[in-house]
Structure 1
Amino acid sequence: MTSPLRDRAFARLWVAGLFAETAEWMLQVAVPVFIYQATGSAGSTALTMIAGVLPIVLLSPVAGHVADRCDRRLLLCAVCFAQAAVALPLLAARGPLIYLVMIAQSALASLFEPARNALVPALVGTDLVTAANGLMGMNSSVARFAGSSLGGVVLGFAGLGWVVGCYLAMLTLAGLLLAPRFTAVTRGERANHGWFGGFGHSPVLRVTALTAALMSVAQGMFLVLFVVFVTGPLGGGEAEVGLLRGVQAIGGFAAGFAVATVARRVLPAHLLGWGAVVLGLVSLVIWNGPVVTGALGVYIGLFSAVGAPGAVTGAGLFSVVQQETGPDRLGRVSSTFFAGMAAFQALGMLAAGALVGRIGLTSLLDAQSALYVAAGLVTLAGLRRRLATVEPCPASTPPATST
């Protein structure tokens, strides 16, 4: 069975992604906790996160065109070094400055994700896309564990400055790995599909977009309420926040490995739909667990388990988009998806920050779980039969060897 890692260009992209995502998780965990500790406000924490997603929405059309017209490998390399540079002001650790840095980081991320998502099928080909996304899921799980744990622990024991130092080092390593030239095709061919790559013309992409919107609202709620949940009902601190975010990597790693090997031929719609349903149900158990027990060991196990459906869902979502979209417009379609997900994630953040004091933490978390279940049902009803009979759009075939 051929592995995408046999392609050396993809392997280098894979390792670079490990460093870049680890750095991102460190910052994603450390900065909201830092703000929450400084202000004691869930609303301020939500505003920090929203400042990190709005540029993705606003810059989506430009980011997609750049990803389809530029050398995607070179673009990823440049973004890594630029993100390291704009993070330097965080060493001052002042409130307004933090918001500006998060905006700048998000603007650069709006270029990174579409380019990477479009580069994967260009390197490995259509047949190995699901396996490649499974490997990316494994990578993300390791990065989540390492980055989340380091972000919480380093913040607690050494402060935000040391978190930023680790962040800079990891992004530099990622940029250096991406610097050597790839021999594979790394940019889309010129074609006129509009600013969004003909996104609205595909029924499959429209259903997938609805699914992604529901999951993104749920994820936005989680990002705000998770810190409140751990520091409130569970009585934890910085280390517990980082640990419980990080242990999701255990299930995610196992699930990513399964998708990359034994489950690589499973219909992507099944991965997306059933993954979302299971994710919602396991989340429901977690949020209502403090009624029974607050033992940290129990939640380490539960958060480890919830990482598995999360990784399966991610692999299914990206595989559907990549297989449904031609290589000449994959950057724009990917950018449209990332922008929509960021917008609905911001909506979830705002709702969580505004309603947690009125409705109550547990009720909001239960609603978050229900959104995941609804997203899974939308996918299973709307995509399964169509994707079973429609051939995916061809992606570019990788060369025999890549260096």
Structure 2
Amino acid sequence: MTGPLREPAFRRLWLAGFVSEIGDWVLMVSLPVYVYRLTGSVGSTATTFVLALLPSLALSPLAGVLADRWDRRRLMLWVSLAQAVALLPLLTGDLVLVNVVMAVQAALAALFEPAKNALLPELVGRDQLAAANGLVGVNANLARLLGASLGGLVLGWSGLPGVLVLDVVSFLVAAVLLARPFGLVRAPRGRAPVWRAWLDGLREIRGPLRGMVAVVGLMASSQGVFVVLFVVFVTERLGGGEAEVGLLRGIQAVGGLVGGALVGLVARRVSAWRLLAWSLIAFAAVSFVGWNGPHVTTAFTFYLAVFAVCGAPGVISGVGMMSVLQLHTSDATRGRVLATFGSLYDGFQALGMVVAGALTAPLGLTALLDVQAVLYLVAGLLVVVISRRASLELADRDS
């Protein structure tokens, strides 16, 4: 066993993320399909996603402060248990309660993610960080491959109760893996009010991280358009149903696995900036091919191939983004900085969702999906500019 996997604490965090994300993908795929089937409305589907993002925006300051003040492993443990309990209202099948569950799960995830991402650099060496993030990407895409495919199938076979059972089990298994200490001693830090501690963390967003605000905003807006219109694209352009939606979301994990493996091979030779820039540009190119494919063919095998390829730059861009953010923050403020960028991502993703829901009818589905690809292209080109400026500034300081 080589690389970050040699660290027992990292292995347990990696496995806990894997089983938890299987359940996440089951939920992420099945609930939008359920809402779209129930209402037949793109606007209602977009509303479900937006409502799921609002709590995370509100909780971002608290989440970042808690991740920097409390023991991060314990915080993730209690959040996993709360996520299992919060799924129970799905048994009713009521549309309002489905939206409530999405909102609560997003709120709890807003507490979980900054703690997990801030903890990772403590478990592996700095030179292993990109490789560790690559393994997390492999992990996430394996979960997507299983969870997304299961989401559509389980919803079709057993409805929301089956979705509930799978998700509850995943969160409980994650809690068991997080129950054992990682060997890190982390005393509570600071007693300043949450708002003041959060503002102190914001001061860390300087230098190249300021440019990353625009990059993350573009990436998130593009993703917001995607998550709303993907279901519509598969059902209306390709004539698919629940199983096809789940399969095409899941097949992206095949490329994601390849992308995660590539990161592990090149992490020590390619900077996080270059990983991010070129993966975003590649993502834009593949997306454009996929969205415009129905002009030529609607053969399902073609889209299986396109979305499988799309997974590689998708996971590499996520690894590059997270590595850049982690490497440019200190441990004392990392939770707050990552929570702030998480909130930024959610806010712009919500903007993308609203745009998708409002403009699909007047502008057309294909036009908006092409805009989604262009946003990724602009983000990639912007990363090239930011990284060059950062290199020049570093050279000036060294001279």
Find the counterpart in structure 2 of residue 280 from structure 1.
284
1:125 CA displacement:
2.6
Using the TM superposition, name which of 154-163 and 194-203 deviates more.
194-203
Percent of counterpart pairs with the same letter? 49
Aligned: 1:235 with 2:239 = yes
TM-score, normalised via structure 2 length? 0.95
5 Å-filtered alignment, 1:1-150, equals 2-150=2-150
1:263 CA displacement:
3.3
Distance in 1 of aligned mates of 2:158 and 2:203: 46
Deviations 1:272-328 (A, max 9, x none): 111111101100000000011000101000000000000110000000000000000
Mark the CA change 1:202 to 1:360 in structure 2 (over 3 Å): closer, same or farther.
Answer: same
Q: 2:329 aligns with which of 321, 325, 330?
A: 325
Find the counterpart in structure 2 of residue 359 from structure 1.
363
Find the counterpart in structure 2 of residue 159 from structure 1.
159
Deviations 1:52-97 (A, max 9, x none): 1111111111110000011100111111110010111111110111
Corresponding pairs, count: 391
Deviations 1:114-169 (A, max 9, x none): 00000000111322111110000101110111110000111112211101111101
Find the counterpart in structure 2 of residue 343 from structure 1.
347
1:265 CA displacement:
3.3
For 1:213, give the aligned amino acid: G
1:102 CA displacement:
1.2
Does structure 1 retain, via aligned residues, the 8 Å contact 2:74–2:178? yes
Q: Greater helix share, 1 or 2? A: 2
SS where residue 298 of structure 2 aligns? coil
Mark the CA change 1:322 to 1:380 in structure 2 (over 3 Å): closer, same or farther.
Answer: same
Distance in 1 of aligned mates of 2:204 and 2:73: 28
SS where residue 198 of structure 2 aligns? coil
Does structure 1 retain, via aligned residues, the 8 Å contact 2:204–2:329? no
Does structure 1 retain, via aligned residues, the 8 Å contact 2:26–2:163? yes
Deviations 1:216-270 (A, max 9, x none): 0000000000000000010000000000000000111111011123334311011
1:2 CA displacement:
4.8
Unaligned runs of 5+ in 2: none
Distance in 2 of aligned mates of 1:357 and 1:182: 51
Does structure 1 retain, via aligned residues, the 8 Å contact 2:284–2:373? yes
Distance in 1 of aligned mates of 2:256 and 2:202: 32
SS where residue 159 of structure 1 aligns? helix
1:22 CA displacement:
1.0
Unaligned runs of 5+ in 1: 392-403
4+ long deviations beyond 2 Å: 184-194, 198-201, 261-265, 387-391
Find the counterpart in structure 2 of residue 396 from structure 1.
none
Distance in 1 of aligned mates of 2:156 and 2:208: 45
Distance in 1 of aligned mates of 2:326 and 2:211: 15
SS where residue 260 of structure 1 aligns? helix
For 1:257, give the aligned amino acid: A
Deviations 1:313-371 (A, max 9, x none): 00000000000000000000000000000000000000000110110000000000000
